[in-house]
Amino acid sequence: MKYVAPRWLPGGNLQTIWSALYARKVKGALPRYRRERWTTPDSDFIDVDYLGDAGPNGGPLLVLFHGLEGSSASHYALAFADFAREHGLAYAVPHFRGCSGELNLAPRAYHSGDHAEIGWVLQRFRQSHAGPIVAVGVSLGGNALLRWAQELGTAAAQVVSAVAAVSAPIDLAAGGHAIGAGFNRLVYTRMFLNTMKPKALRKLDQHPGLFDRDALLRARNLYEFDNVFTAPLHGFRNTDDYWQRASAKPHLRQIRVPALVVNARNDPFVPAACLPTQSDVGSHVTLWQPAHGGHIGFAQGRMPGHLRTVPDAVGGWLLQHTHPSREHCHG
């Protein structure tokens, strides 16, 4: 991926914030979604938003897994929807639990290593969709998608033709510490905790005694929040155990399906020093690490810029792998 930031959009923080708030997300009208509610194996639910004017069931399906506190309305989800609409693709955004605008039922939420949930969702798409499936995960969703591909190994190719991760925090400890320091803590940590804490407290009302309310209220960064809420609710001993076991970076060699990993080297959430090199990955993994782009930024063109840079590049790469001969070549 060749991305050069516009001269009016310098630096990783500005590229991140401007893209989320001000850049054009679509070329035409905003996409229209239709929603399906799926009952999970543990009697909870997730909501899946489908592009209303989607492509045929026999054509490719593009599935997008959103990032932390994201949804089908996130700037990147809308930009990928625009790409799908332009290319006649079916498109779906499954929401992680509690992210669709309604609190989920179970005493759990979602996390960066939620590969079992990813697997259940993709298997359900595989059962209902006749054509090839490709999946892209953004930020947290990208790490979880890579963890799924790593866990399945060669079996992943029976479900999807290819996967891609955009701005994924594949080293969760490095990313967690980066977002908890300096400017990042003042801006991004505060933004995330402003929605995560109230949702956690509603979860506590739903399931009294689930965690220590006072400890959660004291949490001032994601490390402390994960220690009280995310880690224990999802089977991890503590934040360190969670970040270590959920990180995709140590397992990139296990991936046996075509996988694209895109990280800007000036991403304020994912330090360049922690990014994988070619020696860290196997032959199935392609690394794109442009110097600029921020975290899910990559706005291009004249002010205010547009967000189709990543969907065009990543979506184009994914679609190359939907041809039967390409699927055969990759086993």
Q: Give catalytic residues, as residue numbers.
A: 139, 267, 295
Q: What is the DSSP string of 35-97?
A: EEEEE-TTS-EEEEEEETT---TTS-EEEEE--TT--TTSHHHHHHHHHHHHTT-EEEEEPPT
Reported in sequence order, the residue ranges of 95-216 that DSSP labels E, i.e. its strands, are: 133-138, 162-166
Residue type, 255: I
| Phi, psi for residue 103 in degrees, rounded to 5 | -65, 135
Torsion from C-alpha of 282, 63, 136, 10, nearest 10 degrees: 170
Neighbours of 186 (CB within 10 A): 10
| DSSP run (H or E) holding 259 | strand 259-262
- CA-based angle 153:328:84, to the nearest 5? 85
- In terms of Cβ atoms closer than 10 Å to its own Cβ (0-12, 13-18, 19+), residue 267 is buried
Contact status, residue 79 vs residue 311, Cβ threshold 8 Å? yes
User: How far apart are alpha carbons 5 and 292 in whole angstroms?
Assistant: 6
- CA-based angle 261:263:269, to the nearest 5? 130
- Crossing angle for the helix pair 239-246 and 172-179, to the nearest 10 degrees: 130
| Phi, psi for residue 267 in degrees, rounded to 5 | -70, 120
User: How far apart are alpha carbons 249 and 263 in whole angstroms?
Assistant: 12
